[in-house]
Amino acid sequence: MSGSPIVKKMDVIPVAGYDSMLMTLSGAHAPYFTRNLVILEDNAGNIGVGEVHGGESITDALNEYKELVIGREIANHRKIINDIQSTRGKSNSEGIQRLDISKLKDVVRCETAIEAALLDLLGKFLNLPVCALLGDGKQRDEVEVLGYLFYIGDKDKVDLGYIDESDSKDPWFRIRRKVALTPEAVVEQAYAAKEHYGFRNFKLKGGVLEGEKEMETVRALKENFPDARINIDPNGAWSLEEAIKLCSEMKDVLTYVEDPCGPEAGFSGREILSEFKVATGLPVATNMIATDWRQFHHSVVLKAVDIVLADPHFWGMSGSVRASQVLNDWGMTWGCHSNNHFDISLAIFAQTAAAAKGNITAIDTHWIWQDGQNLCSEGFEIKNGKIIVDDRPGLGVTIDMDKVMEANALYNKIDRCYHDRDDAMAMQYIIKGWKFDNKKPCLVR
């Protein structure tokens, strides 16, 4: 295709926002989260935006790609992304089978931010939403979203400057910064999230307490929300034996379970999850053992999973939609995993999910924990547990550069130790000498 606008400028802007002390297998979220933005301008005067994970290595990589982007037609976006990908050798990453957060950057496709920005420009040029430009085009007008629940540590026990919203008039904003380490507190969190966003289904991030205690929380959620689809994600913290014991009698509670166990005894996470499925009969989802096409292939061959959470930040937007097409053809299910993000990534998720083929599962998003820190003056919202994807051209967002520069100023203000994600820092305030162990829930030492 010829005659489309030319990219004349590319800015890479690292940004930061505030977070809660959300707990996972890898520790506790720091008081700040970081992201990298890509902002493109074409010679027609349009602006295209993209967002991806934070970290200085990702910032540097994006800056190095400028020469492959500037001066090229936006309609040639596939060739641009292919050229970027060809500059890398084959990855030696194991994905995130053991959830080593320091290796997350090896899984993240930083060029997704460029792809999103190019598609944003192309959509504006063609007066089409991005979802119409992906795969087989737009598949749905509404995207269902999970209520993503977390155990939350006591921020008052650490001297790191976590944000406090106890004076907020909004019940959800108050709850999301409040300690939650019991079933009752998590259920309270779920009610507040449902009231604010209308969620019909919930996911609990596990890998924090003993497995039996986390199952108590899951049962409490099901008792309070009997019509909800409930699932849990311990990030592979349980052994195969423990996972089978915990989950075998939970078919009436759990709709599916995400990464209940992982590599052990010389066997890969794919082999172990295959054994788990045979033993329990429960559907399994993953964002840890199928993060690229080779892992995807082996996961399918071993019948290890039913739902692949193809985060576009890991797969690219086009790659994620392509995964949905394959999954649909093979009678499997597409979903989406997330990390802490701003509203540009929310738009990336929404547009990708709107184009995903088949009967997809409700997608993850951390955005509810960052809501109120938006970088766009116009964007998407979650109402009645869904995101409406209308026909606004491009990603459907309007960047607010004043807010972007405020987030960039925060990034430059905070200590550099926060620029790359480190969930061990806060944990070492709680448990002296704490170190990550992929087979021990973070509060079990």
User: Which are the catalytic amino acids?
Assistant: 205, 337
DSSP character at residue 32: E
**Alpha carbons 114 and 49: distance in angstroms, whole number:** 8
Residues 6+ apart with CB under 8 A from 197: 145, 147, 172, 368, 382, 383, 385
Beta bridge partners, 383, equal: 386
Here the tokens at position 186 are 């998590």
Q: Burial-class residue 167 by CB neighbours within 10 Å (0-12, 13-18, 19+).
A: exposed
State the number of CA atoms in the 13 A half-sphere of 289 facing the CB. Answer: 30
Q: Is 388 helix (H, G, I), strand (E, B) or coil?
A: strand
Q: Is 178 helix (H, G, I), strand (E, B) or coil?
A: coil
**Alpha carbons 292 and 349: distance in angstroms, whole number:** 18
Q: Is 212 helix (H, G, I), strand (E, B) or coil?
A: helix
Pairing relationship of beta strands 147-149 and 23-24 according to DSSP bridges = unpaired
Other C-beta atoms closer than 10 Å to the C-beta of 241 total 11
**Alpha carbons 390 and 380: distance in angstroms, whole number:** 10
Give first-to-last CA distance, the chain, whole Å: 59
Pairing relationship of beta strands 254-258 and 230-233 according to DSSP bridges = parallel
Residues 6+ apart with CB under 8 A from 49: 37, 38, 39, 40, 116, 117, 120, 344, 376, 395, 397, 399
Radius of gyration for the alpha carbons in the chain, expressed in angstroms and rounded: 21
To which H or E segment does residue 409 belong?
Answer: helix 401-413
Here the tokens at position 395 are 């990603």
- The Cα diameter of the chain in Å comes to 62
**Alpha carbons 119 and 48: distance in angstroms, whole number:** 8
